[in-house]
Amino acid sequence: MSKLITLSLSNVEVFGIEPEESTTFPEYTSSLINLANNTAQATRPRVVGQMSELVQEYKKSHPQGDLRTWYEWYTKRYPQALEQATAKTYAMLQKYIEALAKVDEDMVREWVSDLVIKKSYQGIVYQEICIRKVAEYYEQEYRLATPSEESEGINGFIGNVPVQVQSGRGPYHVLMDQLTSPHRLIRYDTSSDGSLVVEFLSDIFASSGG
């Protein structure tokens, strides 16, 4: 009979250095900075480099390296990156501060109502219409996802192919690159009169027999 085995590794074993005191931030500030960073896209690869590739490159040339030598190596390669990312994030935070001054309880109530009543309903309706129309295009059966399937980023199935439906937050190929799952993508845009434009790759459902 198999049994559970647990291995514990110290900070030294993982990073090659003694543990350092963790950076702490006042309550909520880290979340706000993270939000501003995401909005400003301050730590995207074009600013700070592709971290996954850089770390692997560093580890190949410094097999015994640690966090300190990684910092030295990285800042030599990207001497302006940290300051540029800081400036972008801080500038966005200033915009947030200006915007917060305009927010009152009535505005929050209106926002909540718009999200819960209008946008949630419209989004679900749009998703089903997109899936149905693409299924009709390929003459396939379709169904909407269950709650557990939705937790995996699936909005529905066309034939046996899982699909994810996204509103037009950018070009199709950009949204495809951002997908963290193998699900097929359907993208849609809406106009002020409620009409839809639906996009999908021509061979996206080839495996379903279309």
pLDDT at 208: 43
pLDDT at 209: 42
Question: Are the C-beta atoms of residues 187 and 200 closer than 8 Å to each other?
Answer: yes
Among 54, 70, 100, the domain-final residue is: 100
pLDDT at 66: 84
pLDDT tens per residue, range 60-103: 999 888 888 999 999 999 999 999 999 999 999 999 999 999 99
pLDDT at 99: 96
Long-range CB pairs of 149-153, under 8 A, 24+ apart, other chains included:
152/181, 153/179, 153/180, 153/181, 153/183
pLDDT at 54: 95
Same domain, 120 and 41: no
Among 75, 100, 125, the domain-final residue is: 100
The C-alpha atoms of residue 182 and residue 43 are separated, in whole angstroms, by 25
Q: Is residue 39 part of a domain?
A: yes
Which domain covers residue 168, as residue numbers?
105-208
pLDDT at 67: 84
Q: Is residue 18 part of a domain?
A: no
CA torsion 38-44-47-49 (nearest 10°) is 150
Q: Which regions in the chain score pLDDT beneath 50?
A: 207-210
